[in-house]
Amino acid sequence: MADTTNQDWKDKVFLAAWRPYAWIAATGFLLYNRALSFGFTFLDDNVLILNNLDNLRSWAIIPQAFTRDVFFTAGGAFYRPLLTLSLALDAQLGGTLPFFYHLSGIFLHLAAAALLYRLFLRLEYGKGLSLFSALVFTVHPALSQAVAWIPGRNDSLAAIFVILSFTQFIRFRSGAPGRRGAYALHLVFFALALLTKESAAIMPAAFLAYALLISRERSLTALLREAAGWAAVLLLWHFLRSSVLQVPGLPAAAMARSVWTNLPAFLQYAGKAVLPVNLSVMPALRDTTSVYGLLSAGVIACALILGRPKRRAMVVFGFTWFAIFLLPSLIMNSPAQEDFMFEHRAYIPLAGLLLVFMELVPAELSAGAARLAGAAGLAWLCLLASVTSRHLPNFEDRLKFWGSAAAASPGSPLIHRNLGIMYFTARLYGPAEKEYLTAIALNPSEPIVHSNLGVLYMDRGRLKEAEKALLRELELNPRYDNGHFNLAMFRRVTGRKKEMAELLEKTLELNPGHLYALRDLALLTARTEPCRSAAYLGRLEKLDRKTFLAVKSAIAAP
């Protein structure tokens, strides 16, 4: 009787009505609220937000989100309208204040966790187990990048639509009343997931796996009818995306090679899902150990052998979900791209592994075993939350972010180069030079780094070294617009104005929208060639009126 009364009390406190959602929200906000004081990391967030603030704060952003790539650049490769709109909403509220962007990131994560709880209930798991698994998802360290790093919200936002779409697909497959409406909603949420992140194109494979493994559909006609809806959504999305992005997709053979090369990442992602102790804000594949992945594989294998899963088909489906949604993360956009396996990409795949472990929990437990399991579960949640709490400061600002990245991935020249940029902007010239030279030692042909090193030497008055570095950049990277611009600034310092003008013209040839080149040419030609200066001013006015007015005022001054 006492045990029954105790259980009823626990159900009322934790599981009745809205309480599971409250526990998810309270736990997540308590853990992540410190991120509200974080700044920008200057990995994509500066381009997405700071460089595009005027676009984000204009009402024209609503149609533009669907007609431009997410970075608002020519030749972009990412079509993510809903990510753009989510950032635009934050820009309306806070402009360049990081607070609102981080607040939205926390809310999106909590919404995804709450929807995952609902999905687990739909898959016929008990409330207690579903809540525990949703809380594991809420506090899991491998997902912290999706919350604390502003661009990482792309995965939590996509997860919301993936989970909603999958939940409606289960409703449709269950044969419950309103199944046609459920299928229509399923397709709508599928489309919204695609408009959030391209990797959602893999979703039909997960739908098919559920139909075959869990629903045990054997009718080819029924499967083809459902597939027709998925195909229609994919074709419409492909039409929209291809009409906006002017870059060709990666050939199938190149994608296959990329997946094959990066297959070890499966093991590493599994390791971070089960034993998240080797976290990194920017993990390079070659600098990440597979030891924890092997240990995690052993843990999973032992659990499957000893645990006697209730539904083997659901275990297979869980592993299939993990593999399907992780697969796009192994595809690099170009052969030259460094193999960074960002942890936020495990956001949606993790739900699959949670399904596997949920199947290993016995349906019935004695009172003593239930208390022991509850204590172990609480300890595991606290441990995960503790690891997350220790990892979060790495996202606090750009110096901590890139410093942490360099410590975890010391073999990446790109990371050392960018850490050097962060030091330079903070006027820490010694550390900046050290990072630039480290990047060059790792890769003598690393783009941009020679030019940046030249600018540093120029600022420090080391002109011979500056010229050598700036010229080396153009040998390696002759189409780098800022390389020509930086050399132009060097020619100005050394009084060679004719060469400076030629380099500025070359900068504009490579990048017609280069504001600083237009500015300097307008000023340089104002006295000697006023008509030419006026032409530069006209172009500048179309691009940036604030800069135009400043240059016009400078020219008019005596």
As a three-state string, the secondary structure of 198-249 is HHHHHHHHHHHHHHHHCCCCCCHHHHHHHHHHHHHHHHHHHHHHHHHCCCCC
Q: How far is CA 161 from the centre of its chain?
A: 16
pLDDT at 72: 85
Say which residue, 39 or 305, is predicted with more confidence.
39
Asked if 484 and 474 touch (Cβ cutoff 8 Å), the reply is: yes
Placement of tokens 């611009």 in the chain? 485
Q: State the number of CA atoms in the 13 A half-sphere of 470 facing the CB.
A: 24
Asked if 108 and 160 touch (Cβ cutoff 8 Å), the reply is: yes
Q: What is the mean pLDDT of residues 306-332?
A: 89
Angle between helices 398-408 and 413-425 in degrees, nearest 10: 150
Say which residue, 142 or 331, is predicted with more confidence.
142
Angle between helices 203-213 and 153-174 in degrees, nearest 10: 30
DSSP symbol at 279: -
Residue 408 has pLDDT above 90, yes or no: yes
Q: Is 137 helix (H, G, I), strand (E, B) or coil?
A: helix
Say which residue, 98 or 284, is predicted with more confidence.
98
Residue 404 has pLDDT above 50, yes or no: yes
Q: How far is CA 523 from the centre of its chain?
A: 41
Indicate the residue type of 398: R
CA of 417: how far to CAs of 9, 101, 424, in Å?
A: 57, 27, 11
Q: Which of 251-260, 300-309, 372-381 has the highest mean pLDDT?
A: 372-381
Residue 231 has pLDDT above 50, yes or no: yes
Residue 4 has pLDDT above 70, yes or no: no
pLDDT at 1: 45
CA of 402: how far to CAs of 281, 283, 346, in Å?
A: 8, 11, 21
Residue 235 has pLDDT above 50, yes or no: yes
pLDDT at 363: 72
Residue 93 has pLDDT above 80, yes or no: yes
Q: Is 108 helix (H, G, I), strand (E, B) or coil?
A: helix
pLDDT in tens, 248-275: 666 777 778 888 888 888 888 989 999 8
pLDDT at 338: 65
Least confident segment among 5-14, 300-309, 490-499: 5-14
The pLDDT confidence band at residue 306, using thresholds 50, 70 and 90, is: confident
Q: What is the mean pLDDT of residues 419-423?
A: 97
CA distance 448 to 440: 10
CA distance 208 to 492: 64
Q: What is the mean pLDDT of residues 378-394?
A: 96
Residue 507 has pLDDT above 80, yes or no: yes
Put simply, whether the predicted model's pTM sits higher than 0.75 gets the answer: yes
Placement of tokens 């220790």 in the chain? 390
Q: What is the mean pLDDT of residues 294-300?
A: 89
As a three-state string, the secondary structure of 310-368 is CCHHHHHHHHHHHHHHHHHHHCCCCCCCCCECCHHHHCCCHHHHHHHHHCCCCCCCCHH
Of 449, 457, 387, which Cα lies nearest the Cα of 412? Answer: 449
pLDDT at 549: 87
Determine phi and psi for 340, rounding to 5 degrees. Answer: -85, 125
For 424, other C-beta atoms within 10 Å of its C-beta total 20
pLDDT in tens, 157-213: 999 999 999 999 999 988 778 888 999 999 999 999 999 999 999 999 999 999 999
pLDDT at 229: 95
CA distance 346 to 270: 9
For 121, other C-beta atoms within 10 Å of its C-beta total 17
pLDDT at 347: 96
pLDDT at 110: 98
For all residues of the chain together, what is the average pLDDT?
90
Angle between helices 530-543 and 515-524 in degrees, nearest 10: 160
Q: What is the mean pLDDT of residues 123-142?
A: 94
Q: Which domains does the chain have, with CATH numbers?
A: 16-395 (no CATH), 411-511 (1.25.40.10), 512-558 (no CATH)
Strand-pair partners of 284: 340
DSSP structure string for 153-167: HHHHHHHHHHHHHHH
pLDDT at 7: 59
Residue 405 has pLDDT above 60, yes or no: yes
Q: What is the mean pLDDT of residues 532-556?
A: 86
The pLDDT confidence band at residue 339, using thresholds 50, 70 and 90, is: confident
Say which residue, 456 or 11, is predicted with more confidence.
456
